Chains A and B, each alone.
Chain A
């Protein structure tokens, strides 16, 4: 069942200049992106910095204005709804933020932080509220006694878990995870990721997982899309993308994953050189004269690539 369908999404930011600060041009942060999320799966969006992956994620929760295109959530177009009309959908779509240090209000206690969504949508007595918050704290592996502490008393990993607990309290259907582990160190990353997977099974969650760490994406995602300059250049099952990349950008991205074995180091260097040469020679097969990636073309039932 399709939970979220993003259709030809465009998010353009105006560049103002000149005498009256007129709009002189647009930054095309997201320029025609389409993908679908099935219920219960994890869809990864990868790409380099500035490729528009976070902007896409934020557009789904309406933190960015959508220039054009559709965001269909259970058949309703979120992009066309006003702020008021979208409120009921907030319950079903939640977001986990990248930076655990700025995503929790430093002046609020953990109880108030995690209970904020509950207070917006449900009428609960303080005792019920406390119980729910403590349950979720327990679920994310924090001591239920920590409800009276402030965020700065926790480590980065613990803070991120508070953020995750906050996004779970309303039992959402879709969670946008915007690089949820990139601010954490590697040992904590694994912990948080495994724990996100456990939660996915327990609550039947669907994740839109935004990230730039290819290892993390492969570990987490069933399907993924590779973004480059605001466009999707390749989309398919994770294995297809990793084992059989078709687009030159994806190939280079995957070749850039560091290999831990020193024996193959020379081999890898050669591969990267070869890809670099291929990128130069076959540029026009993958990008049009403006440097824009072509529209996606299916090459198998699940695998789509941006080719001419």
Chain B
């Protein structure tokens, strides 16, 4: 008996399969690019969220006619814009705003897409049909038109409204992705087994199906996060983004619509553009590593 316990223990220490987190960490460690990106990303986020604590957003948004279009100096590290506002301060607050917006849009679309996608995929049939037709309808709507109209008619246009309207349109892709995965999973015997074991539907969806689509969700979440940073910026650039009182990376870049700023006052828009580039690229590289971690055949580590 003791022998058996002994051997069992040895096997256990040797054979315990690595947890998901460990696999992801291995993969990121193996990929120098992803590792570097992760460090840069964390550094930027910690700095931006940390620094914005000590900054007064109102102070930064305040117009000061005595210091218009000043070049970078020791007073204004990245110069000032046409309102005499500190570009460095706007960059910090803007990065924070843009990232927060992107994070929440991604989060909300993930929640909606996940629940509807799982329901449609698991139940199939009529449920699937109804949900998919709703998705088709949302996709058929002219998105940009809609956004422009909403931006024009809402009385107060702020971060929350922006998150809401973007979420309205962006959940569809996720729902479709999750649905297709759930459709193929529900045909597997472990789902049938749970059904014959008397497990209720909601439990099967949450505890059997969800863990098996989770790798897909995580990867998609990260890659969408990168995409949504650019999304906010491009809309703001078009003039339908956030008002200037809430600085974002997009507002800084949109100053470059003025040819004079574009040509001579590089300090206003170049830092913000670089910030977007760096953020999107580094999130993407980390996302790629996660994607490989989720698929055993592509793993390097």
Contact with B along A7-45 (1 / 0, CB 8 A): 000000000000000000000000000000000000000
**Which of A63, A93, A105 lies in contact with B208, CB distance below 8 A?**
A105
A238 close to B (CB within 8 Å): no
Across-interface contacts of B9 in A (CB, < 8 A)? 145
Contact with B along A55-86 (1 / 0, CB 8 A): 00010011100000000000000000000000
Across-interface contacts of B127 in A (CB, < 8 A)? none
How many A residues have CB within 8 A of the partner chain?
34
Across-interface contacts of A116 in B (CB, < 8 A)? 194, 197, 199
**Which of A103, A152, A153 lies in contact with B189, CB distance below 8 A?**
A103
A166 close to B (CB within 8 Å): yes
* 6 tightest Cβ-Cβ pairs between the two chains A and B: A145-B8, A90-B198, A103-B189, A107-B211, A117-B197, A105-B190
Q: Are B12 and A148 in contact (CB under 8 A)?
A: yes
Across-interface contacts of B200 in A (CB, < 8 A)? 120
Query: B152 CB to closest chain A CB, in angstroms?
Result: 41
A91 and B198 in contact (CB under 8 A), knowing A97-B189, A107-B211, A143-B4? Answer: yes
Across-interface contacts of A103 in B (CB, < 8 A)? 188-190, 192-193
Across the interface, name the chain B residue whose C-beta is closest to A109.
B17
Query: A145 CB to closest chain B CB, in angstroms?
Result: 4
**Which of A58, A150, A163 lies in contact with B17, CB distance below 8 A?**
A150
A143 and B8 in contact (CB under 8 A), knowing A99-B189, A103-B190, A106-B212? Answer: yes
A166 and B193 in contact (CB under 8 A), knowing A107-B212, A148-B16? Answer: yes
B11 close to A (CB within 8 Å): yes
A98 close to B (CB within 8 Å): yes
Across the interface, name the chain A residue whose C-beta is closest to B200.
A120
**Which of A87, A91, A95, A120 lies in contact with B193, CB distance below 8 A?**
A95
Across the interface, name the chain A residue whose C-beta is closest to B208.
A105
Chain B interface residues toward A at CB < 8 A: 4-5, 8-9, 11-12, 15-17, 188-190, 192-200, 208, 211-212, 214
22 contacts between A and B (CB under 8 A): A87-B198, A91-B198, A94-B197, A97-B189, A103-B192, A103-B193, A104-B190, A105-B194, A105-B208, A106-B190, A107-B211, A107-B214, A116-B194, A117-B198, A121-B198, A145-B5, A145-B11, A145-B12, A149-B12, A152-B17, A153-B17, A163-B193
Across-interface contacts of B11 in A (CB, < 8 A)? 143, 145
A99 to B188, CA, bound (A): 9
A282 close to B (CB within 8 Å): no
Across the interface, name the chain B residue whose C-beta is closest to A89.
B198
Across the interface, name the chain A residue whose C-beta is closest to B192.
A63
Q: Are A97 and B193 in contact (CB under 8 A)?
A: yes
Across-interface contacts of B16 in A (CB, < 8 A)? 148-149
A145 to B194, CA, bound (A): 24
Q: Are B190 and A95 in contact (CB under 8 A)?
A: no
**Which of B17, B190, B192, B199 lies in contact with A149, CB distance below 8 A?**
B17
Query: A21 CB to closest chain B CB, in angstroms?
Result: 10
Across the interface, name the chain B residue whose C-beta is closest to A86.
B198
For B5, B193, B211, the residue with the greatest tally of chain A CB atoms inside 10 Å of its CB is: B193
A61 to B17, CA, bound (A): 34
Across-interface contacts of A166 in B (CB, < 8 A)? 193, 197
A187 close to B (CB within 8 Å): no
Given A61-B196, A97-B192, A149-B15, 4 more pairs with CB closer than 8 A:
A90-B197, A104-B190, A106-B212, A163-B193
Q: Are A120 and B190 in contact (CB under 8 A)?
A: no
A50 to B190, CA, bound (A): 22
A108 to B197, CA, bound (A): 15
Query: A133 CB to closest chain B CB, in angstroms?
Result: 14
Query: A138 CB to closest chain B CB, in angstroms?
Result: 10
